[in-house]
A and B are shown apart, each in its own frame.
Chain A
């Protein structure tokens, strides 16, 4: 296998291929006859996934450096020091594979759901894939930002055109919320770049160059705030989460799947890729860390309570996303190896379980055109396969031992406990709450009495639907039973990242109060 990959120069072209191929697929979809559009799109995303698979084995887990890069960055806009440069490390490799896996699944899952304007829909989904892949592989901050924004457009149209009743409201809210954060991040990026130019005389947007900028503590705090806002909204962390339930509920099933499984991860990816290494003094400041951990904790608990009272199953699942991502924030800002690894595993697990949950609810919706929990009951009798998958997915979402959710939450809590035992203690309650909101829903939909005659005739899962769900179920169990291959692929990168942050932290951080009330960021005046 390795010899074959080497002979075709796999590692030198795979990332470019993954970035550009969905665009080719998009062109093919637009040229194809309308009734074939979905097959073309699914085929393209499947090819993309198959081509991305060898990364799993070709990735060198013993190295924390960027892999699959080019020999040298390619000049894109030389006058500005902007490059085309891509590569992946232990943090992005799994998210990249998650993306290429989830796209064909979401596309296959939308064959029946999407009935109108199919060509445009599938073209948008493939454009979205390019955007997300771009975010995970870009090693030039400008390039990263371009893709970060690019992905907004297809998502805006997916929600706005194929969404539910309040789709316009949801689409515009999604767009504006995300744009607020990213625009301030843009100013932050520019500030960093000019700081670099002032210090080295060189203008460059390369990630590796920006790591060398030396910043005062005050600058770090302000820039941290500008970047963090973008990521906190994207994740989303309480209190920036209000766009999420609207977007999820209104989006069509495949949109929800991609949104939950992949797009939310971009925010957490931003934490690890930018916030920690670029601004270590701010990211380790006790006050900032505490605030972020408490926000994560509130997300875990509050979202659980809100989820428990939702009559709409899809909205309930949307809130569970907030809760799960709260755990991710806890794990990351615990700044321990277990914590970060746990956060990463939760991301993968959440991608699989929540993605599956949205697909399952979408399948119900296709049959009954309702998502109200009260409209169902006793489905286990008429749809046994559906019921089995539904229960398993719910358990994985809760974090039952033996499923992926357990591994992630356990590691994240363990990591948090080492540095912030009280917060970990409270967060552990969130696991219990997860059972509190999830199990009643499972009971009301799948079990209880089959008392509504509309439900008596529902057909069980078709073969296509089983094919959609099978890989996700396998992933949930695989991570739950044997997480080692996932953990070892990220281990070196995470360890090196945390060591690097630890070395560059301030030993005696000044209180934040001193920064507030001062005139402005000290500018580029020291050049």
Chain B
């Protein structure tokens, strides 16, 4: 179908997966309300299944979206493969979340279904956030996603830690939204448009690169994004928010929220400011180096596995920023590949944390993992694979992803960043392996230490899917690599393909 945005219906078609998901969210909400009367049921798998169906439908709609073509390249909603690809990533994260969340609700005796509605709405926000070409619409997506996730963080109303985490996240998130919005205003003030393509034209022609207003606007946008992706020094909220949030939500935040913010980051900067890459490229590379070093150092001393994973997610933001700083099609493709792998391993790791944590998620200290591997081999092996993949070990998707980012960096002559990346990974080996050594080398407190761990069918399905995905992408990454490379071809003119823009 060819869309030229001459009529309103064209806009609706361009928003097909978002529409499907929004409508489905309303449906889930209604069903939840009418079912709530029945309090005798211990859990409500029906709602989870219904949500899952919605996600599958959205994925189908997304596939259909991939066949649409647009007139020109400056429509408000982008109709490119990059958007289709990132949409799949968000849906994947949401789908895994639904599989795992059921176990959480059961564990905490929570009978309400808002969690599922909110996750669908957050996914809609992400899709708009990452798929739009207009700064105002991007902001709407950002807010829709953020508000849903603030509530998700505090979903467990009986848990004071969750309330604290939610409030912290909300305050700092609001702060970052303000930065972002101010950036949008300044960019609009100097470029007289909020459309990314128009901004790019104006910046390129008028030599606005020297305009302080535009530069400040650009930097403020970057700060807003840096908050959302949790890059150092804007990461302070992350450990508390992840620690307090329910484990499935933390996994969803670490994977999908970060993926959305990064995808939007990439789209905005590669579409609107490619000619200013000399400036922001160095800025992003600097932040990346800082993030990789600081996050990995702090993670080495964490005794709480959930907090360790929070710092690990900050560290991974650093790796992704290296790909962003490379600003090439290789960089963008490596970034997309990494998002998929990262989603699988992060959601998987948090799922293990969830079931080991048990009610109230009280068992998140590393001591509770002693001997886990021998008593619960499936959990132990799955967790070991997630950890090895997070560390970037060969034959896992994490290795291919990291290798891809390294490749993008070296290709651009960013040897320093590449060396920092591998040295930071080395630090990360220590803290990932530490969990592995607790699981396999230590003896548990008593012979029944891990008897009470209950793995629901949903969690099992999520773990199996994640493990298979990670190993598959680690051994046969070829097809996904090709898709990722095709999906970033749209940035070729902006970034000049794989060729270096500048050599430092």
Does residue B64 face the partner (Cβ distance < 8 Å to A)? no
With A77-B478, A117-B374, A190-B407 as contacts: A161 and B395 at CB distance below 8 Å: no
B426 adjacent to A149 (CB under 8 Å): no
CB-contact partner of B430 in A145, A176, A190, under 8 A? A176
Nearest Cβ on chain A to B365's Cβ, whole angstroms: 18
Chain B residues whose C-beta falls within 8 Å of the C-beta of A179 in the assembled complex? 426, 429
CB-contact partner of A146 in B388, B394, B416, B429, under 8 A? B394
CB-CB contacts below 8 Å: A134-187 with B: 145-147, 149-150, 153, 156-157, 160-161, 167-168, 171-172, 175-176, 179-180, 183-184, 186-187
CB-contact partner of B481 in A80, A160, A167, A521, under 8 A? A80
CB-contact partner of A150 in B394, B407, B419, under 8 A? B394
B441 adjacent to A160 (CB under 8 Å): yes
Chain B residues whose C-beta falls within 8 Å of the C-beta of A150 in the assembled complex? 394-395
Does residue A365 face the partner (Cβ distance < 8 Å to B)? no
Q: Tell me the nearest residue of chain A to B429, going by C-beta.
A: A179
A167 vs B442: C-alpha distance when bound (angstroms): 11
With A150-B394, A172-B437, A186-B403 as contacts: A520 and B410 at CB distance below 8 Å: no
Does residue A525 face the partner (Cβ distance < 8 Å to B)? yes
Does residue B4 face the partner (Cβ distance < 8 Å to A)? no
With A117-B374, A168-B437, A183-B422 as contacts: A521 and B485 at CB distance below 8 Å: no
A36 vs B6: C-alpha distance when bound (angstroms): 73
Nearest Cβ on chain A to B226's Cβ, whole angstroms: 26
Nearest Cβ on chain B to A217's Cβ, whole angstroms: 17
Chain B residues whose C-beta falls within 8 Å of the C-beta of A180 in the assembled complex? 426
A171 adjacent to B500 (CB under 8 Å): no
B477 adjacent to A77 (CB under 8 Å): yes
A524 adjacent to B423 (CB under 8 Å): no
Nearest Cβ on chain B to A180's Cβ, whole angstroms: 6
Q: Tell me the nearest residue of chain A to B427, going by C-beta.
A: A176
A180 vs B419: C-alpha distance when bound (angstroms): 11
Chain B residues whose C-beta falls within 8 Å of the C-beta of A183 in the assembled complex? 422-423, 425-426
Q: Mark B417-455, 1 if CB is under 8 A from A, else 0.
A: 011001101100110011001001100000000000000
With A153-B393, A190-B418, A194-B410 as contacts: A176 and B429 at CB distance below 8 Å: yes
Chain B residues whose C-beta falls within 8 Å of the C-beta of A9 in the assembled complex? none
Query: Which of A78, A156, A167, A179 has the most C-beta atoms of chain B within 10 angstroms of its own C-beta?
Result: A179
A520 vs B430: C-alpha distance when bound (angstroms): 29
Chain B residues whose C-beta falls within 8 Å of the C-beta of A175 in the assembled complex? 429, 433
Does residue A76 face the partner (Cβ distance < 8 Å to B)? yes
Does residue A79 face the partner (Cβ distance < 8 Å to B)? yes
Chain A residues whose C-beta falls within 8 Å of the C-beta of B416 in the assembled complex? 520
Does residue A191 face the partner (Cβ distance < 8 Å to B)? yes
CB-contact partner of B388 in A77, A153, A167, A525, under 8 A? A153
Does residue B413 face the partner (Cβ distance < 8 Å to A)? yes
Does residue B503 face the partner (Cβ distance < 8 Å to A)? yes
Does residue B240 face the partner (Cβ distance < 8 Å to A)? no
A149 vs B503: C-alpha distance when bound (angstroms): 31
CB-contact partner of B418 in A76, A79, A161, A187, under 8 A? A187
A184 vs B422: C-alpha distance when bound (angstroms): 7
CB-contact partner of B503 in A80, A157, A190, A525, under 8 A? A525
Does residue B23 face the partner (Cβ distance < 8 Å to A)? no
Does residue B411 face the partner (Cβ distance < 8 Å to A)? yes
B415 adjacent to A187 (CB under 8 Å): yes
CB-contact partner of B478 in A76, A145, A161, under 8 A? A76
Nearest Cβ on chain B to A386's Cβ, whole angstroms: 32
Chain A residues whose C-beta falls within 8 Å of the C-beta of B423 in the assembled complex? 183
A11 vs B434: C-alpha distance when bound (angstroms): 43
Chain A residues whose C-beta falls within 8 Å of the C-beta of B425 in the assembled complex? 183
A171 vs B419: C-alpha distance when bound (angstroms): 25
Q: Mark A37-69, 1 if CB is under 8 A from B, else 0.
A: 000000000000000000000000000000000
Q: Mark B262-279, 1 if CB is under 8 A from A, else 0.
A: 000000000000000000
B481 adjacent to A161 (CB under 8 Å): no
Does residue B482 face the partner (Cβ distance < 8 Å to A)? yes
Does residue A523 face the partner (Cβ distance < 8 Å to B)? yes
A525 adjacent to B413 (CB under 8 Å): yes
CB-contact partner of A524 in B403, B413, B434, under 8 A? B413
Chain A residues whose C-beta falls within 8 Å of the C-beta of B395 in the assembled complex? 146, 150
A150 vs B416: C-alpha distance when bound (angstroms): 26
A145 vs B402: C-alpha distance when bound (angstroms): 14
A156 vs B477: C-alpha distance when bound (angstroms): 26
A171 vs B406: C-alpha distance when bound (angstroms): 27
A161 adjacent to B441 (CB under 8 Å): yes
Nearest Cβ on chain B to A141's Cβ, whole angstroms: 12
B426 adjacent to A78 (CB under 8 Å): no
A160 adjacent to B503 (CB under 8 Å): no
A191 vs B433: C-alpha distance when bound (angstroms): 28
Chain A residues whose C-beta falls within 8 Å of the C-beta of B434 in the assembled complex? 172
B437 adjacent to A184 (CB under 8 Å): no
A167 adjacent to B441 (CB under 8 Å): yes
Nearest Cβ on chain B to A120's Cβ, whole angstroms: 9
Q: Mark A252-294, 1 if CB is under 8 A from B, else 0.
A: 0000000000000000000000000000000000000000000
A354 vs B80: C-alpha distance when bound (angstroms): 62
Q: Tell me the nearest residue of chain B to A148, going by C-beta.
A: B394
CB-contact partner of B433 in A146, A156, A525, under 8 A? A156
Nearest Cβ on chain A to B92's Cβ, whole angstroms: 22
Nearest Cβ on chain A to B484's Cβ, whole angstroms: 9
Nearest Cβ on chain A to B384's Cβ, whole angstroms: 9
Top-10 shortest CB links A-B: A523-B413, A183-B422, A146-B394, A149-B394, A190-B410, A160-B441, A525-B503, A79-B481, A77-B478, A187-B418
Q: List 28 A-B contacts (CB under 8 A).
A: A76-B478, A146-B395, A146-B399, A147-B394, A150-B394, A150-B395, A153-B388, A157-B440, A161-B440, A167-B441, A172-B437, A176-B426, A176-B429, A176-B430, A179-B429, A180-B426, A183-B423, A186-B422, A187-B418, A190-B407, A190-B410, A190-B418, A194-B407, A521-B415, A523-B413, A524-B413, A524-B500, A525-B503
Q: A186-B406, A520-B415 are in contact. List 13 more A-B contacts (CB 8 A).
A: A76-B478, A78-B478, A146-B399, A149-B394, A153-B388, A160-B440, A168-B441, A172-B437, A175-B429, A176-B429, A183-B425, A187-B419, A525-B503
